[in-house]
């Protein structure tokens, strides 16, 4: 196993470099003074080249070939397979393109913060056009090597094995029943009164509340931290997880669930197999599976009456005794369905509409069916069709609201709704395995949930394909029926 052991050393070095890159990125988003961005962007671009060179080292290719002839156990074979997949992806792109993308993403992302605030689509467009142009170059190269369509070659980076054909089937079906479901729920909730929390909610109090809930969920603060950024995210590495949240003094509702969401991501990272960390096989299986963990925490569990009961005392402690903070009212607040303009503020029922819209636009962009300048008009048309909202001229709350495209994360958006579907299927399996799960969650005991996730999802990392992972965990491949059933049960039958 000489070749395999040498590969392990190579990938551990790559992991260390990736660790530093992720922390520098987190600092740029959460801590770095704005005047430092030009210098930071250049430094990150140079570091990106170093990481790219380490990841595309020709010796790795030779060692991969040699390792194929060695006697390996099943785990080592799975590890070698993931090394090969990652190496193939990394060696496809020339370093000049990687550097150009790093610069374009950094510039676009940094200026987006100001331009979005100023509703400045005209100023943002040239930056986004450069990002999309480079993404198309990347897709062309990957498509030629993989034989996939341009868009699928990018989708495969985030969802290995997933194809547009499958997504189109899933999303087309969703579009046949979701609009009516949304309207039925909204109509039902018209007769359900609730108290909207009023007043200013101190940011420090919100942060302390978030930390309490993170501890309740089992987040390990010895290996992670929480901060503030313009767009919530989970970053860092398994050994050093960084999550961020954004706060609004007028509304603590979204920030709290945003924290629960990011803690789901972070818990997955902290739960990955410690003895394999540093190797590709120890990474999250796909972004859809990653999203399934955040949505398991936030939607399946976090917005349930049982979980809200367990954290209601924390909310009262943070903001005082008020009818708005009583359990029954919190349940109504966290199950409200509205046609929101903003994806990250959307409820779990309308959320899929936001994702499908973005998927249809980004796939058309990469497949050269539309131009970047067409995005606002197409966005508005699809938003009106899906949710009845008119966003003409409102770029801030429309096509400029997300950070993903600014960072070149094209092919990522489908992961959100795939994650919601995986989460619903997983939680259904948890209920079958633990018939008393509602009582346990109500009493603040999340041990059964955490144990099931650790055994069936976290510990298995990327040892199996996504389909194999879900089959082993739930007994069947991805089945969207659980997602639909979950929405109907929570919002129409209760």
Return the SS3 of 226. Answer: strand
Q: Tokens for 68? A: 């194929």
Domain shared by 169 and 104, yes or no: no
Domain shared by 264 and 372, yes or no: yes
Beta strands 234-237 and 224-228 are unpaired
Domain shared by 246 and 370, yes or no: yes
Final residue belonging to a domain, choices 82, 116, 148: 148
Return the SS3 of 228. Answer: strand
Count the domains in the chain.
2
Q: Tokens for 50? A: 């170093």
Query: Does residue 451 lie within any of the structural domains?
Result: yes
Q: Tokens for 251? A: 């509304």
- DSSP code at position 196: P
Domain shared by 278 and 389, yes or no: yes
Is 351 in contact with 414 (CB distance < 8 Å)? Answer: no
Strand partners, 234: 243
Distance CA 230, CA 411 (A): 22
Round the CA-based radius of gyration of the chain to a whole number and report it.
22
Q: Terminal CA-to-CA distance of the chain, rounded, Å?
A: 58
Question: Rounded to two decimals, what is the model's pTM?
Answer: 0.91
Domain shared by 137 and 220, yes or no: no
pLDDT, residue 52, reads 87
CATH code of the domain in which 248 resides = 1.10.1370.30
pLDDT, residue 38, reads 87
Domain shared by 128 and 172, yes or no: no
Per 3-state DSSP, the chain is made up of helix, strand and coil in percentages (nearest 5) of: 70, 5, 25
Query: Does residue 319 lie within any of the structural domains?
Result: yes
Place of tokens 């007994």: 475
pLDDT, residue 133, reads 98
Distance CA 315, CA 313 (A): 5
Domain shared by 137 and 228, yes or no: no
What string of DSSP letters covers 236-256?
Answer: EETTEEEEEE--BTTB-HHHH
**Nearest 5°: CA angle at 260, between 256 and 261?**
115
Q: What distance lies between CA 44 and its chain's CA centroid?
A: 23
Query: Does residue 153 lie within any of the structural domains?
Result: no
Active site residue 262: yes
Query: Does residue 33 lie within any of the structural domains?
Result: yes
Q: Calculate the dihedral angle through the C-alpha atoms of 17, 282, 233, 150, rounding to the nearest 10 degrees.
A: 90
Query: Does residue 155 lie within any of the structural domains?
Result: no
Domain shared by 124 and 230, yes or no: no
pLDDT, residue 41, reads 86
Query: What is the residue range of 7's domain?
Result: 2-148
Final residue belonging to a domain, choices 120, 148, 176: 148
Domain shared by 7 and 100, yes or no: yes
- Find the DSSP H helices in 118-163: 121-146, 150-158
Domain shared by 11 and 142, yes or no: yes
Q: Tokens for 449? A: 């949930």
* Count of C-beta atoms within a 10 Å radius of residue 248: 14
Is 342 in contact with 401 (CB distance < 8 Å)? Answer: yes
Final residue belonging to a domain, choices 121, 148, 175: 148
**Nearest 5°: CA angle at 256, between 416 and 29?**
65
Domain shared by 68 and 169, yes or no: no
Return the SS3 of 442. Answer: helix
Catalytic pick from 262, 291, 360, 407? 262
Query: Does residue 158 lie within any of the structural domains?
Result: no
Query: Does residue 157 lie within any of the structural domains?
Result: no
Contacts of 74 (CB under 8 A, 6+ apart): none
* CA pseudo-torsion sign 319, 324, 325, 330: negative
What string of DSSP letters covers 311-380?
Answer: HHHHHHHHH-S-GGGSHHHHHHHTT-----S-GGG--TTTHHHHHHHHHHHHHHHHTTSS-GGGHHHHHH
Query: Does residue 159 lie within any of the structural domains?
Result: no
User: Residues in the chain with pLDDT < 50?
Assistant: none
* Count of C-beta atoms within a 10 Å radius of residue 438: 15
Domain shared by 249 and 204, yes or no: yes
pLDDT, residue 428, reads 98
Beta strands 240-245 and 224-228 are parallel
């Amino acid at each position: 196993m000489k070749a395999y052991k040498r590969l392990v050393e190579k990938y551990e070095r790559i992991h260390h470099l990736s660790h530093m890159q992720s922390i520098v990125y987190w600092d740029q988003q959460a801590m770095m003074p704005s005047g430092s961005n030009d210098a930071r962007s250049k430094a990150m671009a140079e570091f990106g080249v170093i990481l790219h060179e380490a990841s595309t080292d020709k010796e790795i290719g030779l060692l991969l070939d040699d390792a194929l002839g060695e006697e390996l156990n099943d785990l080592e074979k799975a590890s070698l397979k993931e090394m090969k997949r990652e190496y193939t992806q990394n060696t496809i792109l020339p370093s000049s393109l990687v550097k150009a993308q790093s610069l374009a993403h950094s510039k676009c992302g940094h200026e987006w913060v100001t331009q979005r605030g100023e509703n400045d689509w005209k100023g943002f467009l040239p930056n986004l056009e450069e990002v999309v142009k480079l993404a198309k170059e990347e897709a062309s190269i990957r498509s030629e090597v993989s034989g996939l369509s341009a868009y699928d070659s990018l989708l495969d980076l985030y969802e290995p094995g997933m194809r547009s054909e499958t997504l189109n089937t899933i999303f087309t079906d969703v579009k046949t029943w979701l609009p009516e479901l949304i309207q039925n729920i909204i109509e039902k909730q018209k007769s359900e009164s609730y108290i909207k929390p009023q007043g200013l909610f101190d940011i420090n109090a919100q942060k302390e509340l978030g930390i309490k809930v993170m501890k309740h969920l089992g987040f390990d603060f010895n290996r992670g931290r929480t901060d503030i950024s313009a767009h919530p995210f989970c970053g860092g590495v398994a050994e050093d997880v960084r999550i961020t949240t954004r706060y609004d003094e007028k509304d603590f509702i979204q920030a709290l669930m945003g924290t629960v969401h990011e803690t789901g991501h972070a818990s997955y990272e902290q739960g990955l197999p410690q003895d394999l960390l540093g190797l590709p096989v120890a990474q999250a299986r796909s972004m859809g599976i990653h999203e399934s963990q955040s949505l398991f925490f936030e939607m399946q569990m976090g917005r349930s009456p049982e979980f809200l009961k367990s954290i209601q005392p924390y909310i009262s402690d943070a903001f005082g005794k008020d009818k708005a903070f009583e359990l029954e009212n919190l349940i109504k607040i966290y199950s409200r369905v509205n046609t929101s303009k903003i994806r990250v503020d959307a409820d779990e029922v309308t959320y899929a509409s936001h994702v499908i819209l973005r998927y249809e636009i980004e796939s058309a962009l990469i497949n050269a069916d539309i131009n970047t300048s067409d995005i606002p008009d197409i966005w508005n048309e699809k938003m009106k069709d899906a949710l009845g909202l008119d966003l003409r001229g409102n770029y801030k709350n429309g096509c400029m609201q997300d950070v993903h495209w600014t960072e070149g994360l094209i092919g990522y958006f489908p992961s959100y709704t795939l994650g919601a579907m995986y989460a619903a299927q997983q939680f259904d399996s948890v209920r079958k395995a633990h018939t008393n799960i509602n009582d346990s969650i109500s009493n603040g005991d999340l041990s059964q949930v955490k144990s099931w996730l650790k055994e069936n999802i976290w510990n298995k990392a990327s040892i199996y394909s996504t389909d194999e992972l879900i089959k082993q965990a739930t007994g069947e491949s991805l089945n969207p029926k659980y997602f639909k059933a979950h929405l109907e049960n929570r919002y129409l039958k209760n």
